[in-house]
Amino acid sequence: MVKRTVAALVAVVVVGFTAGLAMPQDDALRIAVEGAYPPFSETLPSGEIVGFDVDIARALCAELKAECEIVDQAWEGIIPGLLERKYDAIIASMSITEERKQVVDFTEKYYESPGAFVGTKDVAVEITVDGLAGKAVGVQGATVSECYVESNWGDIVDLKRYDTQENANLDLTLGRLDLVFADLFTLTDGFLNREGGDAYEVKGGSIADRACMGEGIGIAVRQDDDVLRERFNAAIRAIRASGVYQEINAKYFPFDLYGAAP
Amino acid sequence: MLDLAFYQKIAPTLLDGAAVTIGLMAVSVPCGFVIALPVALARVSANRFLWAPAYAFIFFFRGTPLLVQLFLIYYGLGQFAVIRDSIAWPLLREAWWCAVLALSLNTGAYTAEILRGAIQAVPHGEIEAGRACGMSPALIYRRLILPKAARLALPAYVNEIIMLLKSSALVFTITVIDLMGAANLIRSRTFRIYEPLVAAGALYLAMTFAVTRVAAWVESALAPERRPPR
């Protein structure tokens, strides 16, 4: 009796183990989101996480016919958590940059996050060497925006670095700055659509600069996980082709987030 | 750990930052003293209309964090159209001048308290002696009280200058790239934290050392009787 139970237990454990080892990636795929970057990802008072990133994650899972678990993870620890195998992928509006590529692999972009100059409607500004010469431009320090303005216009503009984007926007309204440069979606949501933002506008359209802003926003996976990466790539193309992507896009933004084909 | 080539690479940026810090101090310390002297004299006055405003000034600037004062001056004042249209705006528009204003007012309040203490610590007998010789109150101040008070205040005042030097590291929050700002800039560009902060700390240390050396020299010049015999 005892012997048989032990044998059964051993069998269960062994079977379980081999099943675990052989378990294909699409069984309970764990995906980390940030939960604090509206409108891409935000946590509702009920605890539910919603947003563009989350919808894309669910659509990709449906495409992969995988069971998915959405994991909420703070931004600072999001890459270490992936390396520690707390989850298998990061879908959290992460820019594909050279530094990050040293530690993780990225899929193709699933959207592009261009930057833009914003200034007061009263003054026309051309985004050219002549138009920008001597202008006071505010950026948030240590961002792709700082990199872009510094490397492209650093010699001719008066570049000011701020601790937060809010403080840069504030100095624009106070008249200390002629322009701010930041992520277009952040500026639209966090400034132009807010109270007092209607006196300001985007100058010269959106700007995508590969050298600083990377190749767009991608899904991060571990470097040894080529299978998962390729499956995500196929799924991104599939939801683009089926129209699921466009549906999600329209839910959040009145314009195409994807940008030009890679 | 000791990557000399990296220190060499970041040195120009840090030295530029250190120059900004020294510039801020070179303007703020004298300005603060110019503010402090009349405030201290008003503070020890028996006239309520003189000491009350002095007391309020010291109370506010000593009682609130320097960071609050910096933000109030830089972001707060700019909110009012009256100030944006005033003749002061060309200066207040510049972060550097806002930093100088905040640092000067702040150190002015502390220095005023140091001077008040020193003035009140001048032995009463010396003032009596001055009166007995027929000196006018103004002459007593000039010849007796202030020189004595200066000697009494010096150690505490040097402390205040050092405190101000270290507090000035806050100005990077209002876009002034001082020594701390330069260290932060390097930190965000290179993702290296240890080296720029250690280098900035060493430069601050060098500056405080310079201040204490100058102070020691001034102290001995002011108090010849305390010099060691030659």
Cβ distance A94 to A178 under 8 Å?
no
Ramachandran region, residue A39 (left: φ > 0; alpha: ψ -120 to 50; beta: rest): alpha
The confidence score (pLDDT) of residue A10 equals 53
Using CB atoms, which residue from B173, B185, B191 is nearest to A99?
A: B191
Q: Residue A214 to residues A6, A115, A236, B43, B189: CA-CA distances in angstroms?
A: 56, 12, 18, 61, 16
* Interface probe, candidates B175, B191, B193, chain A, greatest A C-beta count within 10 A: B175
Cβ distance A164 to A205 under 8 Å?
no
Q: Based on the structure, what is the number of domains in chain B?
A: 1
- Which of the residues in chain A have pLDDT under 50? 1, 12, 15-26
Q: Is B95 on the interface with A (CB under 8 A)?
A: yes
CB atoms within 10 A of CB B132: 8
The confidence score (pLDDT) of residue B56 equals 97
Six-digit token pair at A35?
């939960």
Least trusted range by pLDDT, from B37-46, B91-100, B185-194: B185-194
How large is the average pLDDT for residues B124-141?
Answer: 92
The whole-angstrom separation of Cα B160 and Cα A127 is 48
Residue ranges of domains in chain A: 6-112+216-252, 115-212
- Do the domains at A6-112+216-252 and A115-212 have one common CATH topology? yes
What does the H/E/C string look like for B68-109?
HHHHHHHHHHHHCHHHHCCCCHHHHCCHHHHHHHHHHHHHHH
Run of H or E including A116: strand A115-120
Using one digit for the tens of pLDDT, what is the confidence trace for A99-122?
Answer: 788 889 999 999 988 899 999 999
The confidence score (pLDDT) of residue A25 equals 45
Using one digit for the tens of pLDDT, what is the confidence trace for B39-65?
Answer: 999 999 999 999 999 999 999 999 999
The whole-angstrom separation of Cα B185 and Cα B199 is 13
The whole-angstrom separation of Cα A252 and Cα A52 is 7
Sign of the CA dihedral with A92 first, then A98, A100, and A105 last: positive
Amino acid present at A126: E
Quick check: helix, strand or coil at residue A49? Answer: strand
The confidence score (pLDDT) of residue A8 equals 54
B229, β-bridge pairs: none
Percentage of chain A beyond pLDDT 90 is: 52
Using one digit for the tens of pLDDT, what is the confidence trace for B66-96?
Answer: 999 999 999 998 888 888 888 888 888 889 9
- The C-alpha of A91 sits at a distance from chain B's nearest C-alpha, in angstroms, of 23
Using one digit for the tens of pLDDT, what is the confidence trace for B206-221?
Answer: 999 999 999 999 988 8
The confidence score (pLDDT) of residue B82 equals 87
The whole-angstrom separation of Cα B205 and Cα B212 is 11
Using CB atoms, which residue from A160, A167, A175 is nearest to B84?
A: A175
Task: For residue B109, give the nearest of B50, B166, B55 by alpha carbon.
Answer: B55
- Residue B59 burial by CB count (10 A; 0-12/13-18/19+): exposed, middle or buried? exposed
Q: Is B189 on the interface with A (CB under 8 A)?
A: yes
Sign of the CA dihedral with A221 first, then A223, A228, and A229 last: positive
The whole-angstrom separation of Cα B97 and Cα A74 is 38
How large is the average pLDDT for residues B3-8?
Answer: 88
- The C-alpha of B171 sits at a distance from chain A's nearest C-alpha, in angstroms, of 11
CATH number, residue B15? 1.10.3720.10
Torsion (CA) B21, B22, B23, B27 in degrees, nearest 10? 110
Question: Which residue is closest to B94 within chain A, CA to CA?
Answer: A176
* Interface probe, candidates A171, A180, A212, chain B, greatest B C-beta count within 10 A: A171
Cβ distance A160 to A139 under 8 Å?
yes
CATH topology of domain A6-112+216-252: D-Maltodextrin-Binding Protein; domain 2 (3.40.190)
Domain holding B169, by residue range, is 4-226
The confidence score (pLDDT) of residue A112 equals 87
Q: Residue A17 to residues A20, A22, A26: CA-CA distances in angstroms?
A: 5, 8, 17
The confidence score (pLDDT) of residue B83 equals 86
The confidence score (pLDDT) of residue A82 equals 92
Scanning chain B, the segments in alpha helix (DSSP H) are 4-44, 48-63, 66-71, 81-84, 89-92, 95-120, 124-132, 137-140, 146-167, 179-190, 194-222
Run of H or E including A236: helix A226-242
- Select from 3.40.50.720, 3.40.50.12780, 3.30.450.20, 3.40.190.10 the CATH code of A115-212: 3.40.190.10
Residues 230-259 of A with CB under 8 A from B: none
B208, β-bridge pairs: none
Residues 6+ apart with CB under 8 A from A63: A235, A238, A239, A244
